Amino acid sequence: AALLMASATAWAGAALIAPPPAPAIAIVPQPVEVIGVRGDAFQLDREARIVIDGDPREAGAVARLLADLLRPASGFELPIVRGEAEPGDIALVLAAGEAPDGHVAEGYRLRADESGVRISAATAAGLSNGMQSLRQLLPAAVERGLLLSSPLEVVAVEITDYPRFAYRSAMLDVARHFFSVAEVERFIDEIAMLKINTLHLHLANDHGWRIEIEGWPLLTDVGGLYEVDGGPGGFYTQEEFAGIIDYAAERNVTIVPEANMPGHVHAALTAYPELTCNGVAPQPHTPAAGGGSTLCPTSVDAERLAEDVIRQLAALTPGPYLHLGGDEVFGYTEEEYTYFMELTSGVAEDEGKTVVGWQEVGASDALPIGTIGQYWGSTVPEELDVALMESFLDQGGAIVMSPSDVAYLDQVYPDRPADSRLGLSWAGPTDVAEAYSWDPARIFEGVGDDQVLGIEAPLWTETITSIDDIEFMAFPRLGSLAEVGWSPAPASGEHRDFDEFSPRLVTFLERFEELDVNFHRSSDLPW
């Protein structure tokens, strides 16, 4: 009951005698407004249909995902049809006026009662968000994909919802260890359930080059063959990468590719000696610690490589963003560094992309207008951090917040098993409560909601080798971070209430149990 906001705005026609009993609802991230409404629960029956009211090319993917969830659990046919909903149907309504005021991009409304379910939005993204909320109103057992013995019910409810931040991201480092297309897609399924709408793929680092680049076959044929500790590595062909992008898009997840340059490039150097200053290709770098490598600042081949990589990634990526890396570049002069970042960001801009870079990129004052800086310092910034962030803002950009002491998914859990090999600890340890108890608009003075594009939770994979490891490190902490990115800001002077959040997160994790997700049973949650 505590999860519900009291409201007298139950929909027109409902008698306003006493407030309806509050349904037991637990959604992560917490929606903006959840109202218990008069009426009985919706019950899915044999004749129900999924009705698309709007452009089926836009709404089709959401309808199919919903059908894929409900058909095995109900045993019903649940045809997807176009037109107007009849009693008992689930309607997906896509129309300009349907979004909550001022929240066209991703807002949605959801209403359920005995007469049907109606999700409405102005965009496919909004419908997708509504579908993920509906999913969390259903019993966790639907996730198992097996026929259930009891009917599927949705409590009578009305939800109005939209995100606080437009950019709610996870990052997966597929360079330190390589992950198959199937593993990446499973991770996409999982993050989408939390309304994370961006997946930043870190496609190249010292330990491996993971994306096919035409004209540079050895990047992958040589540079893709290793990973940390010398494992087999791997890479995505451009076709496979396009497949990941499509898979993500159907789930309202935008892929942001990054081939990190001009530092962290050891794998590329092993493939092409002309990228080095001494003309000698080094042996592969397999220790977890960084290789300290750079593209030779005076190599024209390095410039040609950078341009080819950026143009091809831009062409492959329908999303608006291209991440140029730019972190931890040792051995460049400031002039060499800013020259390189201005070159690469100019190419990305020329390709029509919004540039994203690690915070170091703020060292340049000649970035494309609107360049996004990704902050990876701590929640208590240092002076240099402040200057770098101001540089992005001064150049018309905004900030993605990834404070490493709360948002880095590769940092150890304080209560990890004694024999755990997972995680680094330079910025941690970080538990579920710490990942929850910070605010992206309260890190830098004067950098509030309007300057913060959103949040990102990076998962670096020096110690992470499998989807099981990914799941263990990402969850449940990504649940905390998803809510920090989505749900309304706490009132000024107040903090998010972990005691309210934590049981709700436990309820969410029942769903992950059904899906056999290998999340960490953190000791700061009330199991």
C-alpha to C-alpha distance for 313 and 293, rounded to whole angstroms: 22
Interactions with ligand TNX, residue window 410-429 (CB under 6 A): 410, 424
Nearest to ligand TNX of 202, 251 (CB atom): 202
Instruction: Pull the structure tokens for residue 30.
Output: 């917490």
CB of 354 to ligand TNX, least distance (A): 19
CB of 360 to ligand TNX, least distance (A): 8
Which are the catalytic amino acids? 328
Nearest to ligand TNX of 139, 414 (CB atom): 414
* 61, HSE (Cβ side, Cα atoms, 13 Å): 18
CB of 202 to ligand TNX, least distance (A): 8
Residue 460 found at the interface with ligand TNX (CB under 6 A): yes
x/- map, 95-134, ligand TNX, by CB under 6 A? ----------------------------------------
Which helix or strand (DSSP H or E) is residue 455 part of?
Answer: strand 452-459
C-alpha to C-alpha distance for 271 and 273, rounded to whole angstroms: 7
Nearest to ligand TNX of 375, 486 (CB atom): 375
* 503, HSE (Cβ side, Cα atoms, 13 Å): 8
C-alpha to C-alpha distance for 422 and 288, rounded to whole angstroms: 12
Nearest to ligand TNX of 42, 408 (CB atom): 408
Query: How many chain residues are in contact with ligand TNX, going by CB under 6 A?
Result: 9
What are the residues whose beta carbons fall under 8 Å from the beta carbon of 453, sequence distance 6 or more?
165, 166, 167, 372, 398, 399, 400
Residue 96: name the closest of 58, 60, 50, 139 by CA: 58
Interactions with ligand TNX, residue window 373-402 (CB under 6 A): 376
Interactions with ligand TNX, residue window 358-377 (CB under 6 A): 358, 376
CB of 358 to ligand TNX, least distance (A): 5
Interactions with ligand TNX, residue window 189-218 (CB under 6 A): none
Nearest to ligand TNX of 321, 408 (CB atom): 408
Geometric angle at alpha carbon 297, from 291 and 300, rounded to 5°:
120
C-alpha to C-alpha distance for 197 and 478, rounded to whole angstroms: 13
CB of 264 to ligand TNX, least distance (A): 6
Pair 271, 259: CB distance under 8 Å: no
Q: Which amino acid is at 51?
A: V
Pair 166, 123: CB distance under 8 Å: no
Cis peptide before 29 (omega within 30 of 0): yes
Letter string b/e over residues 11-25, b meaning 16 or more CB atoms within 10 A of that residue's CB: eeeeeeeeebebbeb
Longest CA pairwise span in the chain (Å): 82
CB of 462 to ligand TNX, least distance (A): 6
What are the residues whose beta carbons fall under 8 Å from the beta carbon of 158, sequence distance 6 or more?
10, 11, 34, 35, 37, 109, 110, 111, 112
Measured over the CA atoms of residue 467, residue 473, residue 476 and residue 480, the dihedral's sign is negative
Compute CA distances 388 → 275, 356, 361, 383, whole Å. 29, 14, 8, 9
CB of 412 to ligand TNX, least distance (A): 11
CB of 273 to ligand TNX, least distance (A): 24
Instruction: Pull the structure tokens for residue 78.
Output: 């649940």
Nearest to ligand TNX of 64, 421 (CB atom): 421
Nearest to ligand TNX of 358, 501 (CB atom): 358
Nearest to ligand TNX of 163, 423 (CB atom): 423
**No. of helices (H) and no. of strands (E), the chain:** 14, 18
- Tell me the residue nearest to ligand TNX as measured from the CB: 460
CB of 359 to ligand TNX, least distance (A): 8
Among 153, 307, 327, 468, which residue sits at the site for ligand TNX (rule: CB under 6 A)?
327
Binding site for ligand TNX (CB under 6 A): 327-328, 358, 376, 408, 410, 424, 460, 462
